[in-house]
Amino acid sequence: MEFEKLSELVFNAGIVGAGGAGFPTHKKLAKGVKQIVVNAAECEPLMMVDHHVLAKHFGSVVKALNLLIDVLGAEEAIIGIKGKNMHLLDKRIVDEIKGTKVKIHEIPDIYPAGDEVVLVYETTGKIIPEGSIPLMVGVIVLNAETLYNIYSAVEKGENVTRKYVSIGGDVERDVVVRAPIGITIRELLEDAGYTNLEGKAVINGGPMMGKLVDIDTDVVTKTTKGVLVFPETHSVIQRRRMPMSMTLKRASAACCNCSMCSDVCPRYLLGYNLRVDKTLRAASHGEVQNAENFTQAALCCGCGVCTVIGCQQMLNPQAISMEVKGELARQGYRRENNKAPQEVRKERAGRLVSSDVLIDKLGIRRFVKTTAAREDFDFDPRIVYIPLSQHVGKPATPTVKEGDKVKVSDVIAVTDATALGTTMHASISGTVKKVTDKYVVIER
C-alpha cells in the first residue's frame, strides 16, 4: 500500500490515539521512521484495556505493525509490554514473530511505564529531547488499540465508532466493554450493571491521571480508556475536588522545600530540566521573577508521581504543574526543542516506582481484582452525544443537520485533511436531533 493511501484511510476512519492522548494518527505516521513502539504498558492501576486488546486481538495488532513497517519503511516495531503481562499474548504468535521485524520488549512493572518519554527509553534506550516528539529520535509511538483500529480500517473498512473501556474501582467486578462513542457515562455504567452509585464518584482514566466526570453529561469518546468508580470520601476523589486556590494555599503554608517531589519525577530522572518543587513554590508564593520556574511545567506529563510518591506533606505539585502547563498552552507557549543529548540521572534506578508500591500509596489495594471479565455488552443507547472535539487539534465541522437520517458509521463531521484533526462517524443509526458547535446528537 502507498503511504498516501494509508494516511487517507486512517484519516477517513477517524483514528486518533486511543491511549488517551487523542493525537490524530494520520499526522503521526511518517515515512522513514526507524522504530514503531507499541504502547501496551497498561500503565495505571485498575486499567485493563491494553490487556484486553492484546489478549483478544494480538494477531491483528501484529498484522497492522507489519503493514506499517512495510509502508513507512521502518526498521522494526517494538511491542512494549510488562513482563507480568506476557501470559496474555498468544504463544503461537509470539513464536511465529521470533526473528521478524516485530519484536516484543518486556518492560519493568513501573509507573509511569506508558509515558512516551519513559516508554521510548525503556524500549529503545533513546531519550526524546525536552519539548520534542518521539519522531526527533526516529520513533513513533502507537497505542495497542490504535493499532487494532488501523487493522480494522484497512482489513474490514471499519470506522471508529466504538471504544474499549475498562470499568472498575469500587465495584463488585471489573469488566472491559466496547462502548458506542457518545453514550453517557451513566448509561454506560447502568447498561453494564452498575446501578448503585450512591455516595460514589467517577473518574475518566486511571487513579493517577484520570479526571472527575459528571456521569449525566460526560460521554465516552475516542480516548476514554477507563471509567473508575470510587467512594466520594476516597483521597483519589478528594484530591481532585480541592479548588486550585486551596491547593495553592496549602502549598504556601506547608511546603518545606525538601524537593522530594522533583527527586522522584520520572522525566527529571531521565535528564529533563523539570523541577516541580520550583514551580510549586513560585506559584504558591507568587514568585514571578524567574519565568523558567513556570515555563518548565510544559515538560510535565501529569503523571502524579510527585504528589503520590514524592510529597510527604500531602501537597499536590501535580495539580499545580498541570494548571501552569494548561495556562501556558492557552497562551500559545511552546517549549523550544532542546536537541542537546541528555543523560539519565544516575539515581534513577533506585527511584523507580513499582506498581505495587503505587497501589498501596494510593490506598486502592481493596479495589484491585485478579481478573477482569471481558464481556461484549450489547449496548443500544437511545441517544448519543458525539463530541466534535475528541482529539488534539481542530474540532470537526458537522456535515449533517437536524432531521437527517444516519446509519452507524456514516460520516457526520469532517476536518480539512491538511489540518490537525479527524473525521467523526455516527455510532448508532437514527435521526440527527441536534447539531451544536460541540456535539452532534443522534437519537435512535
Contacting positions for ligand SF4 (CB under 6 A): 255-261, 265, 267, 274, 276-277, 280, 300-306, 310-311, 313, 315, 317-318, 321
User: 231 forms bridges with which residues in the sheet?
Assistant: 200
User: 107 forms bridges with which residues in the sheet?
Assistant: 82
| Residue-by-residue DSSP string for 181-215 | TT-BHHHHHHHTT----TTEEEEES-TTT-EE--T
Minimum gap (Å) between residue 200 Cβ and ligand SF4: 26
CA quadruple 276, 278, 284, 288: dihedral, nearest 10 = -130
Minimum gap (Å) between residue 318 Cβ and ligand SF4: 4
Minimum gap (Å) between residue 136 Cβ and ligand SF4: 19
The 10 Å Cβ neighbour count of residue 55 is 16
Minimum gap (Å) between residue 229 Cβ and ligand SF4: 24
Q: Which is nearer to ligand SF4, 244 or 419 (CB)?
A: 244
User: 202 forms bridges with which residues in the sheet?
Assistant: 229
3-state class (DSSP) for residue 392: coil
Give the span between the Cα atoms of 58 and 284, in whole angstroms: 47
Q: Which is nearer to ligand SF4, 35 or 262 (CB)?
A: 262
Minimum gap (Å) between residue 134 Cβ and ligand SF4: 16
Q: Which is nearer to ligand SF4, 212 or 260 (CB)?
A: 260
Give the span between the Cα atoms of 238 and 35, in whole angstroms: 41
CA dist 71 → 57, 78, 251 (Å): 21, 16, 51
Give the three cell numbers for residue 268. Answer: 527529571
Q: Which is nearer to ligand SF4, 324 or 384 (CB)?
A: 324
Minimum gap (Å) between residue 246 Cβ and ligand SF4: 15
Give the span between the Cα atoms of 356 and 336, in whole angstroms: 36
Pairs from 401-409 (Cβ < 8 Å, separation ≥ 24) = 401/432, 401/435, 402/432, 402/433, 402/434, 402/435, 403/431, 403/432, 404/431, 404/432, 405/430, 405/431, 405/432, 406/430, 406/431, 406/432, 406/442, 408/161, 409/158, 409/159, 409/161
The number of residues in the chain equals 444
